[in-house]
Amino acid sequence: MKYFARKFGFFVATLWAVVTLNFFIPRLQPGDPAEIMVKRLAGKDAALDQAQVEAMRAMLGAPTGSLWEQYVNYLNELVHGNFGLSYTYYPFPVTAVIGQAFWWTIVLVTIVQVLSFVGGVVLGAYAAWRRNTRFDSVVTLGSTFLGTINPFALSLLVLYVFGYTLGWFPTSGGYEEATPGWNWAFIQEAVSHAFLPALALLIVTPIGWILGMRNTMVLNLGEDYIRLAKAKGLPDRSVALKYAARNALLPSVTGFALALGGVLGGAILVETVFDYPGLGRLMGEAVTQKDYPLLQALMLMSAVGVLVANLAADLLYGVLDPRARRAEG
Amino acid sequence: MNANITPVPTPGGDFMAQGEPGQELAVEQVSDAETPDQWWQVIWSAKKARVGIIILAVYVLVAIFAPIIAPHDPNDGSFEPLAGASSANWLGTTTTGQDIASQLIYGTRISLLVGLFGGLFATVIATVIGLISGYAEGSILDDGLSFVTNVFLVIPVFPLIITLVAYSEVRGLWLIVGVVSITSWAGAARAKRAQIITLRNRDFVTAAKFSGEGSWRIIFREIMPNMSSLVLASFVGAATGAIAAEASLAALGLGDSQSVSWGTMLYQSNAQGAIAQGLWLWVAAPALALAILTTASIFINFGVDLLSNPHLREDA
């Protein structure tokens, strides 16, 4: 129990740190982002919702009030889910803009994360089992090289080959004419539009899993219990799967959340190239347009997303590996 | 090594360094019976590391002699636009008539500069925080530093980097170097903390303590030289991460608009619709240059790992 309490405590403390960091980032810069934003919006439309202006000030730094008052104000707005108005999508509040893009990225990233985890772990395990063979070096070197390709450039090249030259998939956007919702026409369009962004991410992301799994499993294969299993006359397949791979899988579980951060970073680049209507493209847009309220909210969201995934991985690890519970309990 | 900023390291680069096994292993003591190899001999003994060093050397030479090697001025837009590869323009020209090959050659300078300084600063931060925290293991100081390290470890690096860059009015190389260094030190700091914990109770440290040396001196003059391979490995990793981050930032249009880098090439090619017009070389050239450089530094780190882990040497 103590293990779980500790992990939960770390989660709460980190959450606080991230929220506080998010408070200070806009205030580190000289000048007053909030004032600039409010002025920009005022130029667009004279009638500003005063409550939304207050929310924006709380997020980005109010010209009045002590830092502490600003901080309390910021937390208050945060708890009420009030992030101010988006500049680019004025007059929509940030939360509405994010709500539109949310599921696109969640579905894309989840599929990529699961596929690259499963594929990476299987390839890594097999490479370890057949270590120092041609298969091993092709997988290790191949994934190392592919993993170093810049996701932005890779997306453009994938687009060139499958979108323009072969013409197999649509080249941009998330759907064509169908009405978004649970209808067959829309799902079909969404899948075909998601295919290339997912492919681009899938080429770069499995490297961590492959190398991590391979290295852990190679270490495990030298252990006595593997020798014993072989000496008992167990078939190779059970030694590989039930003994070595099963134990080597554990460290990969803790890496899950950290890898998610990498996938989110990659999604910014990939979605920008494919003009995919998700959070990544939104963040790229928020940066270039200096849409600070939107940017702050997205930054906070991605950090909280990784934190939650990290907590889930830690808790799962505690369930899977009794040693972890005992060591810290 | 941060593969992408996404380090991914990436951007794409980042998760390799953090989860790398072997780095947290204690430094094995070299047996006294035989003369130990010099550190460069150990690194050179690994085939992969040799390949990596040679590739890196080529890049360094290209960067230094860029004005001699490049056939044209990278900003000269006087060529026929959209031309394919030819003897005058080895990789063709851009939509605005610049020579792609010359841009590629000059771009080497930016990447190597960002890698050198980004790697250096990130390594200094990681070393100071990791060593102090590990030396003071169990104290409040350690708890505080470890907490900060863990926070930076879980915050997604690339979103944090672009948020910081977005608030800056000036978009320059040093901004990128600074932002990348303060966001990507955490994995290396944790590895160093783990290693100094295994070293700080050794006899030579106790001897230094009894002779009245201060903690600062013990950490950085007595202990740190014993973990130089880890410091070197984390430098190579951080440099790789910084190069990848610069490319991704510039590709999004957040780079230094004054200079030609591989990232700004990607940004321009995307903004001008290079792919739709079939100009794939404009994208593939900087992408390949980046990937080969990153792979080379990963290879170099294979050799550096041999320094701290002699068990690996027999396989190499």
Closest residue to A257, CB basis, from B154, B162, B266: B154
Q: What is the mean pLDDT of chain B?
A: 82
Is the CB of B182 inside 8 Å of chain A's CB atoms?
Answer: no
pLDDT tens digit sequence for A210-228: 988 898 888 888 888 888 8
State the pLDDT at residue B10. Answer: 32
The predicted structure's pLDDT at residue B2 = 37
B194 min Cα distance to partner chain A (Å): 17
The two most distant CA atoms of chain A are separated, in Å, by 82
pLDDT of B314 reads 54
Residue A249, pLDDT above cutoff 90: no
Q: How high is the pLDDT of residue B296?
A: 94
Please tell me the distance in Å from B122's CA to the nearest CA on chain A.
18
Instruction: Identify the pLDDT of residue A186.
Output: 79
Q: Model pTM?
A: 0.85
Residue type, A292: Y
Distance from CA of B54 to the nearest CA of A (A): 17
User: C-alpha distances in angstroms, A247 versus A182, A244, A299?
Assistant: 41, 6, 35
Give CA–CA dist B302/B316, Å, rounded: 9
For residue B20, what pLDDT is reported? Answer: 41
* Unique residue bearing structure tokens 């550190």: B39
Of residues A25, A33, A154, nearest to B164 (C-beta): A25
- Note the pLDDT of residue B31: 47
How far is A119 from chain B, CA to nearest CA, in Å?
17
Low-confidence ranges of chain B (pLDDT < 50): 1-32, 316
Q: B103: closest CA among B54, B95, B273?
A: B95
User: Residue B226, class by beta-carbon neighbours within 10 Å (0-12 exposed, 13-18 middle, 19+ buried)?
Assistant: middle
Does the beta-carbon distance from B252 to A164 stay under 8 Å?
no
Put simply, the answer to whether B19 touches A273 (Cβ < 8 Å) is: no
User: Looking at CA atoms only, how far is residue B139 from chain A in angstroms?
Assistant: 17
pLDDT one-digit tens code per residue, A45-88: 556 667 777 777 777 766 567 788 888 888 888 888 888 778 77
Average pLDDT, chain A: 84
Of A155, A59, A157, A105, nearest to A282 (Cα)?
A: A105
Closest CB from A144, A205, A295 relative to B295: A144
The partner residues of B99 in beta bridges, in order of sequence, read: B93
Q: Tell me if chain A has a CB within 8 Å of the CB of B138.
A: no
Under an 8 A CB cutoff, do B13 and A148 touch? Answer: yes
Is A307's CB within 8 Å of B269's CB? no
Residue of chain A with shortest Cα separation from B290? A149
Q: Which residues in chain B have Cβ-Cβ distances shorter than 8 Å to A299?
A: 159-160, 163
Report phi then psi at B5, rounded to 5: -65, -25
Q: Which pLDDT value is given to residue A207?
A: 84
Interface subset of B 7-36, CB within 8 angstroms of A: 7-16, 18-22
Enumerate the residues of chain A whose CB falls inside 8 A of the CB of residue B280.
157, 160
Confidence of residue A4 (pLDDT cuts 50, 70, 90): confident
Whether the predicted pLDDT of A19 surpasses 50: yes
Out of A14, A257, A266, name the one closest to residue B8 (CB).
Answer: A266
Among A11-15, A90-94, B208-212, B246-250, whose mean pLDDT is lowest? A90-94
List of residues 6+ apart from A219 with CB closer than 8 A: A248, B21
* Residues of chain A above pLDDT 70, percent: 93
Q: Give the mean pLDDT of A240-268.
A: 84
Nearest to A104 by CA among A257, A312, A274: A274
Residues A122, A127, A131, CA angle at the centre, nearest 5°? 155
